[in-house]
Structure 1
Amino acid sequence: MKNTDAELAAQPIGYWAGAAHRVIIAYIRGEMSALGLTQPQFWLLRNLSAGDLSSDGQGLTVAQLTDRMRAYLHDDDDLESAAEDLLKRGLVTRDADQRLWITETGRQGHARVKQQSPAIRGRIHDGIDDADYVTTLKVLRRMIDNVGGDPRASS
Structure 2
Amino acid sequence: MAMIDYPDDVIAAQAMGYWTDLAARAIMGALRGQLAVERLTQPHWWTLNHVSGSPDSWTRTTLAQRLGEFAEEGTDFGAVFDDLADRGWLRVGGSDGTLALTDEGEAGRLRAHERNAKAHRQMREGVPTTDYVATVNVLRRMVANLDGRTDLP
| Pairwise TM-score range, normalised by the shorter structure | 0.7 to 0.9
SS of 1:127 mapped into structure 2? coil
Distance 2:42 2:136 in 1: 22
For 1:14, the aligned partner's letter is G
Query: Which amino acid letter does the alignment assign opposite residue 43 of structure 2?
Result: P
User: Can you give the 5+ residue segments of structure 2 that lack an aligned partner in the other structure?
Assistant: none
**Residues 75-110 of structure 1, C-alpha deviations (whole Å, 9 max, x = no match):** 243211111111211111235755433211111111
Gap change, CA 1:92 and 1:14, over 3 Å in 2: same
CA 1:74–1:33: 2 relative to 1, 3 Å: same
TM-score, normalising length: structure 2: 0.83
1:8 aligned to 11, 29, 48, which one?
A: 11
Give TM-score scaled by structure 1 length: 0.82
Say whether residues 1:64 and 2:67 are aligned partners.
no
Of stretches 73-82 and 84-93 in structure 1, the one that deviates more from structure 2 is 73-82
CA contact (8 A) 2:55 2:101 kept: no
More deviation, 37-46/127-136: 37-46
Residue aligning to 1:93: 91
Unaligned runs of at least 5 residues, structure 1: 55-59
Root mean square deviation of aligned Cα: 2.2
Report sequence identity in percent.
Answer: 31
Of 133-142 and 66-75, more deviation after overlay is shown by 66-75
Q: Deviations over 1:125-146 (max 9, x none)?
A: 0111111111111211111111
Question: Which position in structure 1 is the counterpart of 2:56?
Answer: 53
SS across alignment from 2:100: strand
The count of aligned residue pairs is 149
Further displaced range: 135-144 or 35-44: 35-44
